C-alpha cells in the first residue's frame, strides 16, 4: 500500500486540516451546533415503561491482548479469545444496554428509556469507566468501540429533556477523556504505514471521535473523526477493495465488510452536517460497497485474490450487514435490501444499536 498524504500532526495531537478536501472539514460550512442524524426527528414523549438494567462492573483499563496469532491476523488463539470475551463483556454490555434504551426511546418516546441512557452513562462517567491509558492496543480498540457505542445512543436521546445539567456535564467530560486516549494512540501511530492507524481501526476511531465531537459540540474532534473517513475513502482501490483488509488472509471478507460499517455511519454523520461525504473521492465509498456485495455473494472472488478459503458468516446478522440500512435508503440496492430483510435486526453495539435512518 502506498503511503498516502498525512492527515494527522503529532505535535499537539492536532489534525492537519490542510490535507482535507476543500469542500468540507475545517470550513465554515460545518454548522454550529454540530448535528446528528437523529436531531431532525420529532419524538412524542410518553410514559411507556422501561426496565433499566444495573450497570456492569466498571474498571478503568482493559487488560487484554490481541487474540490473532498469525502474520495476517486471521487465526484465533482460543485461550486469548476467551480472556478477551470475558473482559469485553463490560464495555460491550454497557454499549448494548444504552443503545437498546435509546432505540426504544426513538420508537416509543419512553422517558424512562431515555432516563436509563443518562443513568447508565452518568454512572460510567463517575467511575471513569475504561477511560485509562490502555496497556495493550486491543484495549484502545475496545475504548473506541465503546465510545462510538455509547456516544451515539447519547445523541439519540439528548433532545429528550430528561437528562440533568449535571449528568450532561459528567457524560460529556467522560466522552472527552476517552476520545483523547483514542486520539493520542492513533496520532502516534499514524506515521507508521500499514499500521493499525491505516486500516479499519482508524475508521472506527474516527466514528467514535466524530460522535463525541457532535455530543460535545467539539468541532476539532468532529473534524479529526471525519478525517478518518477521508483516509478510508482515499484507501479504496479502483476495484473497491481495501488493501489492508485484503491482507487479512481467511478473514479478508469479514474485514472488508467490517471496514465498510464505520465508513457508512461516518458518512451519515457528515451528511447531517452538510458535508457531501458520499460524493467524496468521486463517490469512492460506492466502489467499496459494490465490491463487498459481490464478495459476500461470491466469496471465491476473494479466495482467488488471497489464495485462501474465506470465513463466511453463518448468517446475515446486524453486525454483518446492518450498516447497509441507511445506505440503501439513499442508494437503493436490491441485493443489500434482500440481506437486510434476512437479518433479524440491523443493530450492532459498536455503532450504538440501530443505525441512522
Structural domain includes residue 145 = yes
Establish if 113 belongs to a structural domain: yes
Q: Check residues 52 and 31 and name the one with the higher pLDDT.
A: 52
Angle of CA points 159, 53, 92, to nearest 5°: 80
Percent of the chain having pLDDT more than 90?
Answer: 86
Whether the pLDDT of residue 12 is over 90: the answer is: no
DSSP state of 19: G
Domain that holds residue 311: 11-351
Three cell numbers, residue 233: 475513502
Peptide bond preceding 350 in cis form (omega within 30 of 0): no
Whole-number pLDDT of residue 29:
62
Structural domain includes residue 357 = no
pLDDT band for position 357 (cuts 50, 70, 90): confident
- Within-domain flag for 196: yes
| Residues 217, 265, 37: CA angle, nearest 5 degrees | 50
Distance between terminal CA atoms of the chain?
34
User: Residue 247's pLDDT is what?
Assistant: 95
154 DSSP assignment = H
pLDDT at res. 103: 98
For residue 194, what pLDDT is reported?
81
Distance of CA 251 to the CA centre of its chain: 19
Calculate mean pLDDT across residues 20-32: 49
pLDDT in tens, 303-339: 999 999 999 999 999 999 999 999 999 999 999 999 9
Residue 262: pLDDT above 50?
yes
The distance of Cα 139 from the centroid of its chain, to the nearest Å, equals: 15
* Residue 34 within a domain: yes
| Count of domains forming the chain | 1
Q: Residue 252: name the closest of 243, 263, 239 by CA.
A: 243
CATH code for the domain in which residue 210 is found: 1.50.10.100
Q: Is residue 2 part of a domain?
A: no
Within a domain: residue 316? yes
Q: Using CA of residue 216, residue 124, residue 55, residue 165, what is the dihedral sign?
A: negative
The answer to whether position 41 is within a domain reads yes
- CB-neighbour burial class of residue 192 (10 A; exposed 0-12, middle 13-18, buried 19+): exposed
Amino acid at each position: 500500500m502506498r503511503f498516502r498524504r498525512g492527515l494527522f500532526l503529532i505535535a499537539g495531537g492536532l489534525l492537519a486540516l490542510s490535507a482535507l478536501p476543500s469542500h468540507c472539514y475545517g470550513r465554515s460550512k460545518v454548522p454550529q451546533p454540530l448535528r446528528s442524524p437523529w436531531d431532525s426527528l420529532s419524538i412524542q414523549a410518553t410514559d411507556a415503561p422501561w426496565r433499566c438494567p444495573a450497570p456492569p462492573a466498571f474498571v478503568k483499563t482493559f487488560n487484554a491482548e490481541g487474540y490473532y496469532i498469525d502474520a495476517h491476523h486471521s487465526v484465533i488463539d482460543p485461550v486469548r479469545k476467551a480472556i478477551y470475551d470475558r473482559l469485553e463483556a463490560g464495555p460491550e454490555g454497557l454499549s448494548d444496554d444504552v443503545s437498546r434504551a435509546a432505540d426504544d426511546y426513538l420508537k416509543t418516546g419512553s422517558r424512562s428509556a431515555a432516563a436509563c441512557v443518562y443513568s447508565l452513562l452518568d454512572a460510567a462517567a463517575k467511575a471513569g469507566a475504561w477511560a485509562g491509558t490502555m496497556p495493550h492496543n486491543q484495549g484502545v480498540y475496545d475504548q473506541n468501540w465503546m465510545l462510538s457505542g455509547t456516544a451515539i445512543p447519547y445523541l439519540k436521546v439528548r433532545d429528550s429533556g430528561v437528562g440533568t445539567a449535571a449528568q450532561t456535564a459528567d457524560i460529556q467530560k467522560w466522552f472527552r477523556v476517552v476520545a483523547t486516549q483514542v486520539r493520542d494512540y492513533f496520532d502516534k501511530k499514524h506515521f507508521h504505514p500499514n499500521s493499525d492507524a491505516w486500516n479499519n481501526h482508524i475508521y472506527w476511531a474516527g466514528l467514535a471521535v466524530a460522535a463525541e465531537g457532535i455530543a460535545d459540540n467539539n468541532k476539532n474532534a468532529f473534524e479529526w473523526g471525519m478525517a478518518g473517513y477521508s483516509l478510508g475513502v482515499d484507501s479504496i482501490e479502483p476495484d473497491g477493495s481495501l488493501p489492508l483488509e485484503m491482507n487479512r488472509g481467511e478473514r479478508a471478507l469479514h474485514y472488508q465488510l467490517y471496514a465498510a460499517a464505520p465508513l457508512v455511519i461516518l458518512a451519515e454523520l457528515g451528511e447531517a452536517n452538510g458535508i457531501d461525504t458520499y460524493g467524496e473521492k468521486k463517490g469512492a465509498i460506492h466502489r467499496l460497497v459494490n465490491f463487498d456485495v459481490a464478495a459476500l455473494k461470491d466469496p471465491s472472488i476473494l479466495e482467488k485474490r488471497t489464495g485462501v478459503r474465506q470465513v463466511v458468516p453463518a448468517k446475515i446478522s446486524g453486525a454483518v450487514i446492518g450498516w447497509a440500512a441507511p445506505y440503501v435508503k439513499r442508494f437503493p440496492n436490491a441485493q443489500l435490501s434482500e440481506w437486510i430483510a434476512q437479518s433479524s435486526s440491523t443493530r450492532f453495539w459498536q455503532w450504538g444499536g440501530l443505525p441512522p435512518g
